[in-house]
Chains A and B, each alone.
Chain A
Amino acid sequence: MKDSDTLRGDRIPKRVITVLASTGMAIMLFILYFLLREGLPVLRHASLGELLLGSYWYPTYDPPEFGMFPLVVGSLAVTALASLLAVPVSLGLAAFISEVCPRSLREIFKPILEVLGFFPSVVLGFIGMVVIAPWLQERFSILTGLNLMNASILMGIMIVPVVASLAEDAMAAVPKDLRDAAYALGSTRWETISRVVIPSALPGILQACLLGVMRAVGETMVVLMASGGAALVPRSVLDPVRPLTSTIAAEMGETPVGSDHYFSLFFAGILLLVITLGINVAAMWVERRGMRWRG
């Protein structure tokens, strides 16, 4: 093969990759542009302050009110409560599968977890409506079982497989050398897990939690079906909420293109993007702090 042939052979794949990569980039940028173009016009009719801090979401009234504060709080509340419920369970499950249970059981549990990660959220939402809601209603004698608690439990169930599976990967990737060192110093199994394996796997565990949280922020169907849908700032975990995602999903179909309501729903989409971006940046910061021991 001549030199020029080799060069050409090198150049063609490089070009293909460049084209593919830039197409992907272009699509992402286009989505962002579209979101901004359809979302920002709402600022002509409502100030940023009103949008972010207003407590009344009455987009179809006359005059309409576009206060998204309850929606943002709803999104954050469901995400926070779901994470609070799901993360400890997930990490416990991950530690159990990676460190405690025999290898034969691990071969069974791991694929089950991975498949559960794809469980259709609409089915979960259904379970929330017919199982959890009546139970909550009776147990706490409240008006409706469709509320923050219900949505958070379902969301928690949804993200446990994702977080547990990824956290398990991170724990299983901790070198055997480190476990040996811990055991040789007289650590019990529990001490080895809590003081060596988990701290060593922390960057990966954080990544896993982050993915779970991101999924919770963006999840729509479960909150649409089980959160109750009232655009109020919740005062307790048993109050109904209306997160940004379910608002968009519920209202987008009934709003005329180009109306203020339409623009405001896209603005809600922008807020979602900002929230996920914020969580990402925070996670990066935490991870960098966690990485400082890696030499």
Chain B
Amino acid sequence: MPAATPKFLVRALNLHYGEHHALKNVEMDIAPKSVTAFIGPSGCGKSTFLRCLNRMNDFILGCRVEGEIKLDGMDIYAASTDVIALRRKVGMVFQRPNPFPSSIWENVAYGPRLHGIRNKTVLQEIVESSLKGAALWEEVQDKLHTPALALSGGQQQRLCIARAIAVEPEVLLMDEPTSALDPLGTARIEELVRELKERYTVVIVTHNMQQAARISDMTCFFLMGETIEMGPTQEIFTSPQDRRTEDYITGRFG
């Protein structure tokens, strides 16, 4: 894909958990306003790599990152990087829906409030537009002040997406966002991802190859901490260059 400047530019990235070499020399360009999918068997490093992009690995003891990741040309692992600002710019949705045990409204307003917005009217507008952006508004507009945990799993996950986009990030990282959902909930999230790329750069980790094929523009195949092959999704799934990619997508292992 002949995109302009890449949103993320990753060069010679190595990550160790103590002795374990979890990511080996990863190089990657991620185009803005597109959906990039990471596929690969469990433990191949795709989630670990995703978490490098907003430095969520910082909390893990014994985790060491070398190499560079540039977001809009800025090295996010530089000493001068403001991690809080980075995470505001790079939102994240997790494997299992994890709404806070408070109301729907409070969940969406959490981020904006954190970043200093106090005005109720402004917050209300953000809550509404974020819920609309996450295709949840229709279902919850009458019960904004009821517990978020009373929603279904799929609704909770869309609420988490609303919560993430409420801080107006530029990138949305999704770590197997549909693995805990039923097929209907999954379909709605996939539909949503296709809409989200109009405004955000979406990077999604998925266990489900069909999902990657359905929603992504670019696909990257990870194996044992290495990126084996990356290219337009169409090509990866129809004419993979590497034998291992072909074996994986045809279901010979994984």
Contacting pair B87 A183 (CB below 8 A): yes
Task: State which of A68-76, A109-117, A194-202, A256-264 sits at the interface with chain B.
Answer: A194-202
User: Shortest Cβ distance from A172 into chain B, in angstroms?
Assistant: 15
Contacting pair B98 A185 (CB below 8 A): no
Contacting pair B100 A186 (CB below 8 A): no
User: Which residues 105-163 of B sit at the A interface, judged by CB distance below 8 A?
Assistant: 110-111, 114-115, 147-151, 160, 163
Range of interface residues on B (Cβ < 8 Å): 20 to 34
Q: Which of A181, A187, A292, A294 has the most CB of B within 10 A?
A: A181
B56 at the interface (CB under 8 A from A): yes
Q: How far is A182 from B111 in the complex, measured between Cα atoms in Å?
A: 8
Contacting pair A293 B102 (CB below 8 A): yes
Q: How far is A185 from B93 in the complex, measured between Cα atoms in Å?
A: 10
Q: How far is A163 from B103 in the complex, measured between Cα atoms in Å?
A: 28
| The one of A182, A184, A191, A293 that contacts B147, using a Cβ cutoff of 8 Å | A293
B167 at the interface (CB under 8 A from A): yes
B102 contacts which chain A residues (CB < 8 A)? 199, 293
User: Shortest Cβ distance from B170 into chain A, in angstroms?
Assistant: 13
CB contact under 8 A between A185 and B147, given known A180-B98, A200-B100: no
B101 contacts which chain A residues (CB < 8 A)? 178, 199-200, 293-295
Q: How far is A191 from B114 in the complex, measured between Cα atoms in Å?
A: 8
B184 at the interface (CB under 8 A from A): no
B56 contacts which chain A residues (CB < 8 A)? 180, 183-184
| The one of B54, B98, B164 that contacts A175, using a Cβ cutoff of 8 Å | B98
A292 contacts which chain B residues (CB < 8 A)? 147
A177 at the interface (CB under 8 A from B): yes
A188 at the interface (CB under 8 A from B): yes
CB contact under 8 A between A185 and B111, given known A180-B94, A196-B100, A200-B100: yes
User: Shortest Cβ distance from A268 into chain B, in angstroms?
Assistant: 42
Q: How far is A186 from B84 in the complex, measured between Cα atoms in Å?
A: 5
B12 at the interface (CB under 8 A from A): no
- Closest residue to B166 on the A side, CB-wise? A185
| The one of A103, A178, A183 that contacts B100, using a Cβ cutoff of 8 Å | A178
B163 contacts which chain A residues (CB < 8 A)? 181, 185
B253 at the interface (CB under 8 A from A): no
Q: How far is A241 from B61 in the complex, measured between Cα atoms in Å?
A: 52
B88 at the interface (CB under 8 A from A): yes
B187 at the interface (CB under 8 A from A): no
User: Which residues 11-67 of A sit at the B interface, judged by CB distance below 8 A?
Assistant: none
Q: How far is A281 from B21 in the complex, measured between Cα atoms in Å?
A: 56
User: Shortest Cβ distance from B199 into chain A, in angstroms?
Assistant: 18
Contacting pair B149 A294 (CB below 8 A): yes
Contacting pair B115 A186 (CB below 8 A): yes
Q: Which of A175, A180, A186, A294 has the most CB of B within 10 A?
A: A186
User: Shortest Cβ distance from A243 into chain B, in angstroms?
Assistant: 38
CB contact under 8 A between A295 and B114, given known A177-B98, A186-B88: no
CB contact under 8 A between A181 and B147, given known A186-B84, A187-B114, A188-B84: no
- Closest residue to B107 on the A side, CB-wise? A181
Contacting pair A181 B114 (CB below 8 A): no
User: Which residues 154-184 of A sit at the B interface, judged by CB distance below 8 A?
Assistant: 175, 177-178, 180-184
Contacting pair B91 A184 (CB below 8 A): yes
Contacting pair B91 A178 (CB below 8 A): no
- Closest residue to A102 on the B side, CB-wise? B61
B84 contacts which chain A residues (CB < 8 A)? 186-188
Contacting pair A183 B114 (CB below 8 A): no
Contacting pair B149 A295 (CB below 8 A): yes
B110 contacts which chain A residues (CB < 8 A)? 182, 185, 195
B202 at the interface (CB under 8 A from A): no
User: Shortest Cβ distance from B23 into chain A, in angstroms?
Assistant: 20
Nearest 8 Cβ contacts at the A-B interface: A295-B149, A177-B98, A186-B88, A184-B92, A295-B150, A186-B87, A185-B111, A295-B147
User: 13 A-B pairs, CB-CB below 8 angstroms?
Assistant: A178-B100, A180-B56, A181-B160, A181-B163, A182-B110, A185-B91, A185-B163, A186-B111, A188-B84, A195-B110, A292-B147, A293-B148, A293-B149
Q: Give chain A's interface residues, CB within 8 Å of chain B.
A: 103, 175, 177-178, 180-188, 191, 195-196, 199-200, 292-295
Besides the contacts A185-B87, A185-B167, A186-B87, what 15 more A-B pairs have beta carbons closer than 8 Å? A178-B100, A180-B92, A180-B94, A180-B98, A181-B94, A182-B100, A183-B56, A184-B54, A185-B164, A186-B114, A186-B167, A187-B114, A200-B101, A293-B148, A293-B149
